[in-house]
Amino acid sequence: MSKQVSICVIGSGYVGLVAAVCFAEIGHKVICVDNNEAKVKMLREGGVPIYEEHLPDLLAKHLNRGVEFSCELGPAIEQCDAIFIAVGTPQGSTGSADLSYVEAVVSEIARSVNGYKVLVEKSTVPVYTNEWVSRCMHRHGVEPHNFDVVSNPEFLREGTAIEDFLHPDRIVIGANNKRSADLLRDIYAPLTDGSYYAKPDALPGMLSAEKPATLLVTSAQSAEIIKHASNAFLALKISFINAISNLAESVDADIEDIAAGMGLDSRIGPKFLRAGLGYGGSCFPKDVAAFYWVAQQQGIDFQILEEVRKINATQQEIFFNKVRSALWTLRGKKLAALGLAFKGDTDDIRDSPAIDVIKKLIAAGATISAYDPAAMDKAKAVLPAGESISYAASPYEAAEGADAVLILTDWKEFAKLDLQKLNVALKFPIIIDGRNLYKPAEMLELGFTYVSVGRPAAYTAQQGKPRKLVLS
């Protein structure tokens, strides 16, 4: 029988909200605290502020049973044994992580400590943050025997967050003593002993009662580094395949075949080898920068991370030049932009390559008709509808009378478009695909000029293959 733990989760964003609901799902009693009153009000009424599969169902299942929401941190700290900090750690001006939200929360926690508490770093933070959290608690007068600080990095991806949380590749606990490590072991026991997966209403996924989650216990410093190193390595894989895609394109090879051939080597693996517009989102860009900064602070020249960043930035420029090259000039052209989110299956537009490309195209004089299945409301806040951008109700409406379609996000529905319908809607049948969702030969057969990433472009006779141009 697993032990029920009283948990406070601070922050109800992509990580905090998912963690809070999933801790309730595995049997704990959770209070999720956020200082955004509107968000808390919405959550209390059963509303879900983010687009995430399974989240509405799990929230409905546990609201006011296993999980409740509050704006008041003090009473929550008093009632709970484990306090998960899941506030933002955005990029600061030097590239380092801005830890001011973490510090503000720790100072507030210190004021309410009424017995032994374990503070858990769920946010992604640089190595030694555990030391700083401890120092901050001491400075606010909390006795050392009244708290421990543990690192428990989160590896979920947006879009599959709930499944990733409940069926993780691994759970990492970075604790510098047994007492705090044991509390975290208790919290994750339903996943590591398999009892959660044996329940008839458990969320299905890759783990089972026979093959439960793997737990790794390390020092706090090692756990902090595991998180940064994992994100940096995944970003490196993406930049590596993107660099190869540019080579492939220049010699008429096919990056999809190359990635398949590399991925079949079990030491390399097929994941995170999708060439395209480059990585975005609220994590890879800032975490690569923060990890580079950490290394610099230790006098280590981690130049490879700077190359990862540069390749990623170049990838967007290359795409922009492809659009120009396919359309000759951009001023006055109408372009249908399919995708605004930083990747499919999410409404998150933070650091979205799609938004960056759209901004550049608008600056070059193009007008955009955009469509995204989930991210349009969030996009309207940064790119309000007006003369240069409008929002359509479907991909076909976006394509109506457009000079070309641009695929900017890898939504599944964009890989299954009615291409005949799209062709009829367009002024010219040109698709420039930043996510390689179609096969060039098939697109040519359907009468499209089709330009993608790391593959020979397919040009219809009317469109003609442009000679290599030197673009200003």
For the chain, the C-alpha Rg in angstroms (whole number) is: 24
Annotated catalytic residue within 8, 22, 80, 283: 283
Is 22 assigned a catalytic role? no
Q: Does 124 bind ligand UGA (CB under 6 A)?
A: yes
Q: How far is the CB of 326 from ligand UGA (least distance, A)?
A: 21
Paired tokens of 173: 């606990």
Pattern of binders to ligand NAD over 269-288, x per CB under 6 A? -------------xx-----
Q: How far is the CB of 282 from ligand NAD (least distance, A)?
A: 5
Q: Report what 35 binds from ligand UGA, ligand NAD, none; CB cut-off 5-8 Å by kind.
A: ligand NAD
Kindly give the residue spans of alpha helices, DSSP state H, lying in 140-200. 161-166, 178-192
> Is the Cβ of residue 68 or residue 348 nearer to ligand UGA in the bound state?
348
Q: What is the pairing mode between strands 430-433 and 404-407? A: parallel
- State which of residues 101, 128, 155, 302 lies at the interface with ligand UGA (CB under 6 A): 155
- State which of residues 6, 35, 221, 388 lies at the interface with ligand NAD (CB under 6 A): 35
Q: Would you tell me how many other CB atoms lie within 10 Å of the CB of residue 295?
A: 17
- State which of residues 91, 96, 112, 124 lies at the interface with ligand NAD (CB under 6 A): 124
**Beta carbons within 8 Å of 122's beta carbon, 6+ residues apart:** 9, 15, 16, 19, 84, 85, 86, 152, 153, 154
Q: Which position's Cβ is nearest ligand UGA?
A: 283
**Beta carbons within 8 Å of 410's beta carbon, 6+ residues apart:** 274, 276, 339, 343, 344, 435, 437
> Is the Cβ of residue 51 or residue 279 nearer to ligand UGA in the bound state?
279
Q: Report what 223 binds from ligand NAD, ligand UGA, none; CB cut-off 5-8 Å by kind.
A: none
Give the DSSP H/E element, type plus range, for residue 447.
none
Contact of 95 with 87, CB cutoff 8 Å: no
> With CB under 6 A, what is the number of residues at the site for ligand UGA?
20
For residue 160, give Cα distances in angstroms to 63, 187, 338: 21, 21, 21
> Is the Cβ of residue 180 or residue 231 nearer to ligand UGA in the bound state?
231
DSSP 122: -
Contact of 48 with 54, CB cutoff 8 Å: no
Interface region with ligand NAD, contact rule CB under 6 A, candidates 29-37, 185-193, 263-271, 296-304? 29-37
> Is the Cβ of residue 117 or residue 274 nearer to ligand UGA in the bound state?
274
Q: Find the farthest-apart pair of alpha carbons in the chain and give their distance in angstroms, rounded.
A: 77
Range 387-403 burial, b when 16+ CB lie within 10 A, else e: ebbebbeebbebbeebb
Q: How far is the CB of 296 from ligand NAD (least distance, A)?
A: 20
| Of the candidates 141, 146, 150, the residue with the CA atom closest to the CA atom of residue 107 | 141
Q: Does 281 bind ligand UGA (CB under 6 A)?
A: yes
> Is the Cβ of residue 165 or residue 396 nearer to ligand UGA in the bound state?
165
> Is the Cβ of residue 121 or residue 403 nearer to ligand NAD in the bound state?
121
| 79-98 residues near ligand NAD, rule: CB under 6 A | 86-89
Q: Does 273 bind ligand UGA (CB under 6 A)?
A: yes
Pattern of binders to ligand UGA over 234-253, x per CB under 6 A? x---x---------------
- SS (HEC) of 48-115: CCCCCCCHHHHHHHHECCCEEEECCHHHHHHHCCEEEECCCCCECCCCCECCHHHHHHHHHHHHHCCC
- State which of residues 39, 54, 274, 378 lies at the interface with ligand UGA (CB under 6 A): 274
Q: Report what 89 binds from ligand NAD, ligand UGA, none; CB cut-off 5-8 Å by kind.
A: ligand NAD
Q: Does 276 bind ligand UGA (CB under 6 A)?
A: yes
Contact of 354 with 408, CB cutoff 8 Å: yes
Paired tokens of 465: 């293959």
> Is the Cβ of residue 11 or residue 395 nearer to ligand NAD in the bound state?
11
Q: Which position's Cβ is nearest ligand NAD?
A: 13
Contact of 413 with 380, CB cutoff 8 Å: no
Q: How far is the CB of 114 from ligand UGA (least distance, A)?
A: 33
Q: Residue 307 phi/psi, 5° resolution? A: -65, -40
> Is the Cβ of residue 238 or residue 404 nearer to ligand UGA in the bound state?
238
Q: What is the pairing mode between strands 334-338 and 215-218? A: unpaired
Q: Does 452 bind ligand NAD (CB under 6 A)?
A: no
Active centre residues (catalytic): 283
Summarize as ranges the residues that interact with ligand UGA (CB under 6 A).
Answer: 124, 154-158, 231, 234, 238, 272-274, 276, 279-281, 283-284, 342-343
Q: Which residues bind ligand NAD (CB under 6 A)?
A: 10-16, 33-36, 39, 86-89, 101, 104-105, 123-124, 154, 156, 158, 282-283
